[in-house]
C-alpha cells in the first residue's frame, strides 16, 4: 500500500503502521474561526475584461465560449491594438474562465510565461501580446470608478494596480492625503472588492484603553478589514493592541489612514509600519485635468443632464484653476450647487435674491461661492433646464 493509499484508508491502522494513528473521520469537523483565513466562499464570476490602465472595457457575453481579437467578428473586439484577428478563445468553467491561445502571432502570456491554455479568476491579468487585460467581477466594476476618481490619472500605484492588489492580496495599507481627500471612501472601496467583502468592515478612531474592548475589536475584525483613522492629537497606538491586529493569527487586513507619513511614523510601532504598503492620494490642486471628469460623475449621480462642457469656456477654466483646498468636500458642494442651478429655468436673467430663492441656497452663500470659484455670467452656453 502506498503512502497516499494509507492516508485515505478508513479501515484503521494495522499494528505494523504504529500506534496512535487515527483513522480518517467519516464527518470532518468544521474549522474553528481562528484557523480560517480570509477566504471568499461564494461564487466569484468574471463579468468583464478591461485593458489594463485604459478606458477600454468589454462585458462578457452570457454564452459558454467566446472569442477575443482585433476582428469585428470576434465576440470581444479590441481594434487598433495589434492583436491577432482572432487571438483567444475563452470558455466558462464554473466560476472561472479558461483561456486558449489560437496560434496568435505575438502569443499570450500568463504569470510571466507564454501559455497556450490557462485559467483566470477575478483580479488576474494576462497579456494577449501586446495588450494586457484585467479580469473583473461585478464588485470590481462597481467600485473601480471610485478608486480611479480618488487616486486620479497618473497616480502611483495606478487605479488598476491598486484594484488588483485589493482584489487578490491581503497586504496592510497606509493611505495618506490631505483633509477631504476621501481616504475613508478609498478604504471602503478596497474592502468591497477584496476576498474579505462577505465580512463586515470594521472602522475605528481612537483605540480604547480597556483591554477587553480592544479584544472585542480584534474579534469583530477577524478575517476582515480594520480601518484605523490616525488622529494627529492622539498618543501613539497601544503596542499590545497593534500586536493583536497585525498578528497573522487573526487574518486582519489593516488599512491605516493618516494626513502624512510623518504622523503614521509617530503613531504606529516601527516593526508594524515596515509591513505596510504606502499609498499617497494627491490633492485635487495637483490634478487640474481630472476636475471636469470628477464633476461630471458627481452631476450624473445627482440625476441632472448638466455637464461641465455646458459651461462657458471661461467658467470651465475657472473650475480647472481652482485650488480645491478642501478637495472632494468642495467638489461635492460645487456639484450640488451646479445641479440645483441647472434645474432653474431662466437662472441667468434673475437677480441674486431670486436665484437664492429658486435654489434654496442662502443668498450670501450662493454669491460668495460663485465669486470664490471665479465663475462669471453667463454661466452656461445654453439653458440646461431646457434639457
Tally of CB atoms within 10 A around 289: 10
The tens digit of pLDDT for each residue in 93-142 reads: 988 899 999 999 999 999 999 999 999 999 999 999 999 999 999 999 99
**C-alpha to C-alpha distance for 97 and 170, rounded to whole angstroms:** 23
Residue with cell 487585460: 133
Cα–Cα distance, 111 to 95 (Å, whole number): 20
The β-bridge partners of 226 are: 202, 254
Domains and CATH numbers, the chain: 48-136 (2.60.200.20), 142-282 (3.40.50.300), 286-386 (no CATH)
pLDDT digits (tens, 9 = 90+) for 316-345: 999 999 999 999 999 999 999 999 999 999
Report in angstroms the alpha-carbon separations of 32 from 42, 152, 195, 217, 225. Answer: 19, 42, 19, 18, 19
Which three cell numbers, joined as nine digits, stand for 66? 467566446
Residue range 145-167: mean pLDDT, rounded: 95
DSSP secondary structure of 324-380: -TTTHHHHHHHHHHHHHHHTSTTGGGS-HHHHHHHHTS-HHHHHHHHHHTT--SS-B
**134 contacts: CB under 8 Å, gap ≥ 6:** 49, 50, 51, 52, 123, 124, 125, 160, 163, 164
Residue 227 scores a pLDDT above 90: yes
Which DSSP state fits 89?
E
Instruction: Give yes or no for residue 4 having a pLDDT over 50.
Output: no
Summarised one tens digit per residue, pLDDT across range 34-68 is 555 666 667 789 999 999 999 999 999 999 999 99
Taking only the tens place, the pLDDT of each residue in 251-287 is 999 999 999 999 999 999 999 998 899 999 999 999 9
pLDDT confidence of residue 17: 44
Half-sphere exposure of 227 (CA within 13 A, CB side): 19
% helix, strand, coil for the chain, step of 5:
35, 20, 45
Amino acid at each position: 500500500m502506498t503512502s497516499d493509499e494509507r492516508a485515505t484508508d478508513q479501515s484503521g491502522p494495522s499494528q505494523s503502521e504504529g500506534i496512535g494513528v487515527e483513522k480518517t473521520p467519516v464527518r470532518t469537523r468544521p474549522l474553528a474561526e481562528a484557523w480560517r483565513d480570509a477566504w471568499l466562499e461564494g461564487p466569484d464570476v468574471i463579468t468583464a475584461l478591461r485593458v489594463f490602465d485604459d478606458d477600454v472595457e468589454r462585458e462578457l457575453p452570457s454564452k459558454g465560449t467566446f472569442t477575443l481579437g482585433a476582428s469585428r467578428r470576434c465576440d470581444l473586439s479590441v481594434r487598433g491594438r495589434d492583436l491577432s484577428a482572432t487571438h483567444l478563445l475563452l470558455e466558462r468553467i464554473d466560476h472561472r474562465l479558461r483561456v486558449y491561445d489560437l496560434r496568435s502571432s505575438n502569443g499570450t502570456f500568463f504569470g510571466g510565461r507564454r501559455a497556450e491554455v490557462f485559467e483566470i479568476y477575478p483580479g488576474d491579468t494576462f497579456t494577449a501580446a501586446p495588450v494586457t487585460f484585467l479580469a473583473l467581477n461585478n464588485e470590481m466594476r462597481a467600485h473601480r470608478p471610485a478608486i480611479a476618481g480618488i487616486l486620479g490619472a497618473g497616480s502611483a500605484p495606478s487605479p488598476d494596480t491598486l484594484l488588483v492588489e485589493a482584489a487578490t492580496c491581503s497586504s496592510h495599507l497606509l493611505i495618506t492625503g490631505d483633509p477631504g481627500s476621501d481616504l475613508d471612501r478609498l478604504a471602503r472601496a478596497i474592502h468591497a472588492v477584496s476576498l474579505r467583502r462577505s465580512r463586515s468592515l470594521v472602522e475605528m478612531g481612537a483605540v480604547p484603553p480597556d483591554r477587553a474592548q480592544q479584544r472585542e475589536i480584534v474579534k469583530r475584525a477577524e478575517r476582515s478589514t480594520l480601518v484605523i483613522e490616525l488622529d494627529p492629537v492622539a498618543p501613539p497606538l497601544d503596542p499590545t493592541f497593534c500586536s493583536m491586529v497585525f498578528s497573522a493569527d487573526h487574518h486582519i487586513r489593516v488599512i491605516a489612514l493618516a494626513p502624512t507619513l510623518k504622523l503614521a511614523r509617530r503613531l504606529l510601532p516601527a516593526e508594524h509600519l515596515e509591513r505596510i504598503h504606502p499609498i499617497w492620494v494627491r490633492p485635487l490642486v495637483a490634478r487640474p485635468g481630472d476636475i471636469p471628469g470628477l464633476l461630471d460623475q458627481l452631476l450624473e449621480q445627482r440625476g441632472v443632464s448638466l455637464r461641465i462642457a455646458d459651461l462657458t469656456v471661461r467658467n470651465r477654466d475657472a473650475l480647472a484653476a481652482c485650488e480645491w483646498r478642501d478637495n472632494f468636500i468642495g467638489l461635492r458642494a460645487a456639484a450640488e450647487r451646479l445641479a440645483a442651478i441647472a434645474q432653474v429655468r431662466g437662472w441667468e436673467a434673475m437677480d441674486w435674491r431670486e436665484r437664492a430663492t429658486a435654489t434654496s441656497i442662502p443668498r450670501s452663500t450662493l454669491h460668495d461661492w460663485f465669486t470664490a470659484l471665479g465663475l462669471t455670467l453667463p454661466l452656461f452656453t445654453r439653458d440646461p433646464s431646457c434639457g
